[in-house]
């Protein structure tokens, strides 16, 4: 399934959430690669429990982990797709699919500013868990499990 963010979500979220303070990412992708490959990330390590992870603009990360510890937050600012050759499980407190590098832990809706909506030709970030043309094969599962992470506002997470 390919997920894109509708314009109504963008406008509604700016109105609802305003400018909440941005998070500091503990891990960010620096090149295309697999989630489980330390070279994909800065610092050069695989994301661990409690991390705030950025799939950075201009990068594509293939989620290939059998199972992860609970990641606090993931912002997909470019592309994250799930492996089709194995079963995978992503455990996360808050998963956002939104452009840019500004991110908050407020709500499951995306944090967009006027700059994000200025160009209709802008490439939207993508979270892909199989497609119609290339679904996850029946012998595998791609699972996302949402968890509450201590310290997050229960009104906003998990989501």
Q: What is the per-residue pLDDT across 107-157, written as a single tens digit (0 to 9) for each?
A: 655 545 544 444 555 679 999 999 999 999 999 999 999 999 998 878 777
Q: What is the per-residue pLDDT across 12-59, written as a single tens digit (0 to 9) for each?
A: 333 344 556 788 999 999 999 999 999 999 999 999 999 999 999 999
- How far is it, in rounded angstroms, from Cα 18 to Cα 50? 25
pTM of the predicted model, to two decimals?
0.80
Q: How far is CA 30 from the centre of its chain?
A: 15
């Amino acid at each position: 399934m390919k997920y894109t963010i509708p314009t109504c979500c963008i406008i509604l979220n700016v109105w609802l959430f305003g400018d909440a303070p941005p998070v500091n990412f503990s891990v960010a992708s620096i090149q295309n690669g697999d989630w489980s490959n330390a070279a994909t990330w800065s610092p050069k390590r695989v994301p661990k429990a409690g991390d705030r992870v950025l799939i950075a603009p201009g990068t594509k990360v293939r989620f290939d982990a059998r199972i992860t510890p609970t990641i606090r937050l993931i912002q997909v600012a470019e592309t994250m797709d799930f492996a089709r050759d194995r079963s995978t499980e992503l455990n996360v407190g808050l998963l956002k699919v939104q452009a840019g590098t500004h991110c908050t832990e407020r709500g499951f809706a995306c944090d967009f500013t006027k700059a994000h909506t200025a160009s209709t030709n802008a490439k939207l970030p993508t979270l892909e868990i199989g497609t119609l043309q290339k679904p996850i094969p029946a012998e595998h599962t791609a699972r996302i499990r949402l968890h509450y992470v201590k310290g997050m506002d229960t009104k906003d997470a998990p989501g």
